[in-house]
């Protein structure tokens, strides 16, 4: 009840004309930076930061978070239309979103993505509202072994049932891990696999690899086939959008599961990237149309989007309550909080309830504003694809390279994109799965770091991963998921024998 009353106070703060105008402005700018692969939410937020120095903190955070929502929606757009994910967390959306767009269902894929994302976000805010007092305490229970268990669970839910050759899956995943280890190792402080190249000290950016593997690799395949984006050039009408909205409730099981996975991962805090991969893996596993995944299955868009956004939303709470940012964007926002004179941490809820609840209320409103704006612009985005290939093709190439350059202002990364592009092309044609590589690259160093920290804590004993109820439960769940396909095979074989 206390929370509800606080929330109502929050709505009073957030619903002023000025704040709604800020939300609209923030969301629109966010969509712009999200759609341009070179820019992302972190750029947008750090750009707006100086503007907020003169604002009151509540208005400032409303502007920044609205931009964040806009950027997340914009990021899904490029994943679906061009196979170029703007953020790690929208990688999983490309798996089925891009094939859908290729089949001429760009509008449907976009609408599905936006609606699922909004549902996920709203689910997340409801969770935050209901659990705000308790979430911080739960997140405090997480230490290195628990983090490792969560990453392990993500891997376990995602792998184990691809149709590709096991050797190729192994190579792909291990290459991802290898790329993730390049650069400075947090735990030992040693520079690994840099072979004396100064440019490798910062590591191989995940974004550079993804832009090459997905963006450029896909373009080479398209060009080789002599295609001209024919499928994607289909027109999108407002009717398609409405039609998709009407059929949305069909996906309620996937939606609900993904929202729960997302919220849980946001709070724990495993993060939106892990959440979207895990949710995609689970959707595939429990689907009756497993074969359809990877070639344009709508549930394959719904699952990662809903999980990504509910996790992203829920992650705001531990950030404020504990002062640990879950993503680059959250880190920039936290910097902002300090400049506005607020200290993120448990006391924030007590010292500045107007700020906290104004923000939470603005998350409800901001997401509604965002989804309305973004849905009404779907036909506009899809129209990009009607530009002739001789123009849009090179523009996409340029945007890919600019995007990679902006990661670290390094021209070496341009060559990396080229190399990853060729690799992506070869992998795709030879049926190497690329998703395990990406997943390993994103979570590899985090998982390794958590593992090494756990080992220092336990002085080398593996028992630490089963040392308390929480970590044991997560590990058991992960092992169950890992061996699920094996168990399934065993059961069906036994049954056949019984017959």
DSSP assigned state of 86: S
Least distance (Å) between residue 42 CB and another protein: 7
Per DSSP, the three-state class of 184 is strand
219 binds another protein (CB under 8 A): yes
Per-residue contact flags (x/-) with another protein for residues 245 to 284, judged by CB under 8 A? ----------------------------------------
Least distance (Å) between residue 16 CB and another protein: 24
User: Considering only residues 233, 323, 368, 477, which one is a binding residue for another protein as defined by CB under 8 A?
Assistant: 323
DSSP assigned state of 387: S
Least distance (Å) between residue 85 CB and another protein: 19
Question: 217 vs 205, 250, 388, 412, 467, CA distance in Å?
Answer: 17, 34, 20, 18, 45
User: Considering only residues 1, 17, 18, 190, which one is a binding residue for another protein as defined by CB under 8 A?
Assistant: 190
* Nearer to another protein among residue 106 and residue 437 (C-beta): 437
* Nearer to another protein among residue 116 and residue 205 (C-beta): 205
User: Considering only residues 25, 260, 348, 384, which one is a binding residue for another protein as defined by CB under 8 A?
Assistant: 348
Question: 365 vs 11, 24, 454, CA distance in Å?
Answer: 9, 10, 41
- CA 427 – CA 409 distance, rounded (Å): 28
Judged by CB under 8 A, the chain residues 41 through 70 that form the site for another protein are: 42-44, 46-47, 49-50, 53-54
Per-residue contact flags (x/-) with another protein for residues 377 to 396, judged by CB under 8 A? -----------xxxx-xxx-
206 binds another protein (CB under 8 A): no
Q: Beta-carbon neighbour count of residue 301 at 10 Å?
A: 36
74 binds another protein (CB under 8 A): no
Judged by CB under 8 A, the chain residues 127 through 146 that form the site for another protein are: 139-144
Pick from 71, 57, 93, 38: which is nearest to 370 by CA? 71
Q: Are 384 and 81 in contact (CB under 8 A)?
A: yes
Asked if the peptide bond before residue 269 counts as cis, ω within 30 degrees of 0, the response is: yes
460 binds another protein (CB under 8 A): yes
- CA 81 – CA 107 distance, rounded (Å): 10
Spell out the residues 6+ positions from residue 223 whose beta carbon is closer than 8 angstroms to its own: 393
Pick from 245, 276, 306: which is nearest to 108 by CA? 245
- CA 136 – CA 99 distance, rounded (Å): 40
* Nearer to another protein among residue 248 and residue 324 (C-beta): 324
414 binds another protein (CB under 8 A): yes
Name the segment binding another protein (CB under 8 A); options: 120-128, 186-194, 286-294, 485-493. Answer: 186-194
Judged by CB under 8 A, the chain residues 16 through 35 that form the site for another protein are: 33
């Amino acid at each position: 009840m206390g929370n509800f009353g606080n929330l109502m106070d929050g709505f009073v703060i957030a619903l002023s004309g000025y704040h709604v105008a800020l939300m609209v402005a923030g969301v629109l700018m966010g969509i712009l930076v999200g759609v341009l692969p070179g820019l992302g939410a972190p750029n947008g937020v750090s750009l707006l930061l100086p503007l907020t120095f003169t604002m009151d903190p509540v208005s400032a955070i409303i502007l920044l978070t609205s931009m964040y929502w806009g950027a997340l929606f914009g990021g899904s757009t490029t994943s679906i239309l061009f196979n170029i994910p703007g953020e790690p967390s929208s990688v999983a959306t490309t798996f089925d979103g891009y094939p859908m767009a290729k089949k001429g269902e760009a509008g449907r894929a976009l609408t599905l993505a936006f609606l699922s994302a909004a549902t996920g976000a709203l689910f997340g805010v409801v969770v935050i509202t209901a659990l705000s007092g308790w979430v911080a305490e739960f997140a405090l229970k997480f230490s290195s072994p628990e983090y490792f268990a969560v990453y392990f669970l993500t891997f376990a839910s995602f792998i184990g049932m691809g149709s590709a050759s096991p050797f190729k899956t192994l190579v792909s995943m291990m290459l991802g891990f290898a790329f993730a280890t390049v650069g400075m190792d947090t735990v030992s402080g040693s520079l690994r696999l840099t072979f004396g190249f100064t440019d490798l000290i910062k590591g191989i950016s995940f974004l550079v690899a993804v832009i090459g593997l997905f963006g450029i690799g896909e373009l080479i395949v398209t060009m080789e086939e002599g295609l001209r984006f024919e499928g994607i050039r289909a027109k999108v009408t407002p009717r398609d959008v409405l039609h998709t909205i009407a059929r949305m409730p069909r996906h309620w099981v996937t939606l609900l599961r993904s929202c729960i996975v997302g919220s849980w991962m946001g709070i724990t805090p495993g993060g939106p990237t892990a959440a979207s991969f895990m949710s995609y893996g689970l959707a595939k596993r429990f689907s009756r149309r497993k074969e359809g995944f990877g070639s344009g299955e709508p549930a394959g868009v719904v699952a990662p989007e809903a999980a990504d956004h509910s996790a992203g939303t829920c992650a705001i709470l531990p950030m404020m309550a504990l002062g640990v940012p879950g993503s680059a964007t959250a880190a920039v926002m936290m910097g902002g909080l300090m400049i506005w004179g607020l200290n993120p941490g448990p006391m924030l809820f007590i010292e500045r309830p107007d700020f906290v609840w104004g923000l939470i209320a603005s998350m409800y409103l901001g997401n509604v504003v965002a989804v309305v704006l973004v849905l009404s612009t779907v036909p506009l985005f899809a129209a990009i694809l009607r530009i002739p290939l001789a123009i849009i093709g090179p523009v996409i190439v340029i945007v890919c390279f600019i995007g990679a350059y902006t990661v670290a202002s390094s021209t070496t990364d341009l060559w990396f994109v080229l190399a990853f592009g060729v690799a992506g092309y070869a992998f795709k044609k030879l049926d190497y799965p690329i998703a395990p590589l990406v997943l390993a690259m994103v979570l590899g160093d985090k998982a390794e770091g958590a593992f090494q920290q756990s080992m220092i804590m336990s002085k080398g004993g593996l028992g630490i991963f089963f040392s308390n109820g929480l970590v044991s439960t997560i590990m058991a769940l992960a092992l169950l998921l890992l061996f699920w396909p094996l168990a399934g095979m065993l059961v069906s074989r036994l049954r056949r024998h019984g017959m």
